[in-house]
């Protein structure tokens, strides 16, 4: 039997199993909040070129605040990913040999593939940033507007989503996002202990609905554009 030796002083939130779980939950919920706000911002595209360009200009006019926000997002993302990978590695090390027969009774596909959906999302975010934020020449149509000192966002988005392959990439990316969030949302409540035995199934159901809403919210943009319903 192992002899237990750690002193309380060595135990920190960054080491503790539950501590890191809470870090995952808190960074996760902030990222989810961003996903919601980003979707609301994006939906200005449905009101035409004027609306989304005005929204983009408004964000642009915030100046250095944009960079503060971007750095904060980068920090949240990095923490969520690093701890996510670390915990996953520890978890697979805790079960070096698996049973020949394994039958799961309650967990689901989304919960069992968090690391996969998470890493796919990381790749997707890199692609998405290169496409719409960094605006790598050749990846899209970037028309510079002299008056606003900005790229015409509507043209950039609308031309991008006229290509089947690009639309496909975005749809697949959003399916992984929906999977990730459908487990993550309810997990947040359990991890922070904000639920009880009666509300747990309810949060589980809301979580799935949340995933679906985010999925359809986001994919409606490329789909409506490629089918010519947004002009």
Residues that bind another protein (CB under 8 A): 1-2, 4-6, 8, 11, 13, 15-22, 87, 90-91, 93-107, 111-112, 114, 183, 186-187, 190-197, 200
| Helix and strand numbers, DSSP H then E, in the chain | 8, 2
Residue 145 main-chain phi, psi, to 5 deg = -100, 115
Q: Among residues 107 and 231, whose Cβ is nearest to another protein?
A: 107
DSSP character at residue 45: G
Q: How far is the CB of 61 from another protein (least distance, A)?
A: 39
The Cβ of residue 46 has, within 10 Å, a number of other Cβ atoms equal to: 13
Q: How far is the CB of 218 from another protein (least distance, A)?
A: 24
Q: How far is the CB of 122 from another protein (least distance, A)?
A: 18
Q: Among residues 73 and 119, whose Cβ is nearest to another protein?
A: 119
Query: What is the spatial distance between Cα 112 and Cα 118, in angstroms, rounded to a whole number?
Result: 11
Burial of 80 (0-12, 13-18, 19+ CB in 10 A): buried
The Cβ of residue 50 has, within 10 Å, a number of other Cβ atoms equal to: 10
Q: How far is the CB of 75 from another protein (least distance, A)?
A: 20
Q: Among residues 102 and 147, whose Cβ is nearest to another protein?
A: 102
Q: Among residues 114 and 156, whose Cβ is nearest to another protein?
A: 114
Largest CA distance in the chain: 73
């Amino acid at each position: 039997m192992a002899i237990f030796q750690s002193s309380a002083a060595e135990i920190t939130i960054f080491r503790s199993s539950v501590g890191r779980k809470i870090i995952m939950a808190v960074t996760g919920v902030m990222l989810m909040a961003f996903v919601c706000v980003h979707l609301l911002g994006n939906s200005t595209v449905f009101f035409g070129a004027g609306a989304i360009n005005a929204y983009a200009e408004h964000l642009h006019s915030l100046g250095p605040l944009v960079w503060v926000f971007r750095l904060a997002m980068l920090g949240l993302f990095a923490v969520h990913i690093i701890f996510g990978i670390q915990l996953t590695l520890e978890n697979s090390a805790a079960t070096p040999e698996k049973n020949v027969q394994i039958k799961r009774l309650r967990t689901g596909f989304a919960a069992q593939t968090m690391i996969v959906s998470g890493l796919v999302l990381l790749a997707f975010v890199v692609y998405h940033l290169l496409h719409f934020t960094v605006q790598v020449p050749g990846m899209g149509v970037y028309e510079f507007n002299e008056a606003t000192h900005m790229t015409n966002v509507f043209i950039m988005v609308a031309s991008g989503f006229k290509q089947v392959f690009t639309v496909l990439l975005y749809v697949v990316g959003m399916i992984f996002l929906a999977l990730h969030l459908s487990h993550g949302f309810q997990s947040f409540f359990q991890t922070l202990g904000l639920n009880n035995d009666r509300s747990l199934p309810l949060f589980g159901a809301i979580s799935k609905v949340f995933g679906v809403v985010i999925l359809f919210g986001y994919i409606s943009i490329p789909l409506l554009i490629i089918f010519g319903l947004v002009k």
